[in-house]
Structure 1
Amino acid sequence: MQNSIPEKSIVVLVSGNGSNLQAIIDSISQQKIHGKVVAVFANKSDAYGLVRAEKANIPAIFINHKEFASREEYDNEMMQRIDKYAPDLIVLAGFMRILTPQFVAHYQGKMLNIHPSLLPKYKGLDTHQRAIDAGDVEHGASVHFVTAELDGGPVVLQSKVPIFASQNADELAQRVQQQERQMYPLVISWFCADRLKMLNNHAELDGQILDEMGYAVN
């Protein structure tokens, strides 16, 4: 079935290390994702994700947000540059900027993000410390479609990790990131196989509407 589906073009947006980008590149090379990363964009010149892209012979593009007078102007430039690659899917992999409604609407239904919490808990930053401070017994990550609401789009998949009493936020973050590198390529593979869609603000997998917490695997 997968071979009859055209290979999807993927654009990845990063701001930092790009470990999830690397997991995607590796999964594609292992033929687990029926797609190709056609470009990587970053808003920081020192983002190591750009180096990862160059090593994989993927166009690596830095656009400095500080050179634009407004968020809208920056996002408009991003859209123009991204659209030259005609992407089927936009993947946010640690892209640390709040996107404008115009940008989100332009790629509605074909933009995914991974967030380090069990959404709808702990939208925004410092999620690991917030989970510890709240006395939670479990934490994790969520892959979701991007909508205009920050970290509020329909969840596709979540993965949980227990919080141990002796753990600090950095140690918890490392364990969550291990889960992220497994789950993000999996969700991307579903999208590239035409199994995953966003319709009427719901995530659908194989024609079935997923519930608020997404598809449960653990």
Structure 2
Amino acid sequence: MTGRAGGPRRRTAILISGRGSNMEALLRAMAAPDFPAEAVLVFSNRAEAGGLATARAAGIATATLSHRDYPSREAFDRAVDAVLAGHGVEFVCLAGFMRVVSPWFCERWLGRMISIHPALLPAFKGLDTHARALEAGVKLHGATVHFVLPELDGGPTILQGSVPVHDGDTPDKLAARVLEQEHVIYPRALALVASGQVRLDGERVVQAPTDEGAADA
């Protein structure tokens, strides 16, 4: 199948561990025939993950492996990699995948794996981001789509979306507003990367020159 400008659509896997609301946003975007990526697999480390049923209902292949069945993080990641290879996957989106991937997996998919974090990185890496943002008294909070590097939540930023922090916010209220932004920016970021408009260069995100820029050169 072809995407924008007639180019090939990137065969994409989405990795989840739960209900997969960001997965749903990605699937909705990839359902458009001109989107530069197509979903070919939804994978979970939890067979009971709610998002698997959603994916099947959308006609997307699913697969599961339990990390508990493997002696190490890398052993599990190598098994996951074999599943991805079996589906011809070219690009990986982590969407609520509650696993820290191994350095081996990061290197294997370097520049071809992105994730979303519920904070404006580099602030509030790790867990409990909304409670920590409220405790810190920040006025803006949000979400970040980034390339995945071995450092946890340390990959360079592709796209961010922000929301104001209101007086009287609770972590749940703030999380709900941030999640709305996540559903907007994750498909946009995937489109940028899958179309080649942005790419990873070392530890930087670089933008491809536009046709207009090439013409002016």
Pairwise same-fold verdict (TM > 0.5): yes
Helix, strand or coil for the counterpart of 2:152? coil
Q: Using the alignment, how far apart are the partners of 1:4 and 1:33 within structure 2? A: 10
Quick one: which of 26, 33, 43 aligns to 1:41?
43
**Mapping for residues 45-194 of structure 1, pairs under 5 Å:** 45-194=47-196
Number of residue equivalences: 208
Helix, strand or coil for the counterpart of 2:127? coil
TM-score (norm 1): 0.91
Q: Which amino acid is the alignment partner of residue 190 of structure 2?
A: I
| Partners of 1:195 and 1:205 within 8 A in 2 | yes
Cα–Cα, structure 1 residues 90 and 97, in superposed 2: closer, same or farther, change >3 Å? same
Deviations 1:122-161 (A, max 9, x none): 1110000000011111100000000011000010111110
| Partners of 1:33 and 1:188 within 8 A in 2 | no
Give how far 1:62 is off.
1.2
Aligned-residue RMSD, C-alpha: 1.4
Deviations 1:151-200 (A, max 9, x none): 00010111110111111001100100000001100111112212121012
Helix, strand or coil for the counterpart of 1:165? coil
Q: Using the alignment, how far apart are the partners of 1:32 and 1:190 within structure 2? A: 13
Identity within the alignment, %: 36
| Partners of 2:4 and 2:35 within 8 A in 1 | no
Q: Which amino acid is the alignment partner of residue 61 of structure 1?
A: A
Q: Using the alignment, how far apart are the partners of 1:49 and 1:18 within structure 2? A: 5
Q: Unmatched 5+ residue regions in structure 1? A: 209-218
Q: Using the alignment, how far apart are the partners of 2:93 and 2:158 within structure 1? A: 14
Helix, strand or coil for the counterpart of 2:115? strand
Q: Using the alignment, how far apart are the partners of 2:205 and 2:96 within structure 1? A: 21
Q: Which amino acid is the alignment partner of residue 132 of structure 1?
A: L
Quick one: which of 200, 204, 207 aligns to 2:206?
204
| Partners of 2:31 and 2:38 within 8 A in 1 | no
| Partners of 1:18 and 1:49 within 8 A in 2 | yes
| Partners of 2:198 and 2:207 within 8 A in 1 | yes
Cα–Cα, structure 1 residues 32 and 142, in superposed 2: closer, same or farther, change >3 Å? farther
| Partners of 2:100 and 2:152 within 8 A in 1 | yes
Q: Unmatched 5+ residue regions in structure 2? A: 211-217
Give how far 1:32 is off.
5.6
Q: Using the alignment, how far apart are the partners of 2:88 and 2:108 within structure 1? A: 12
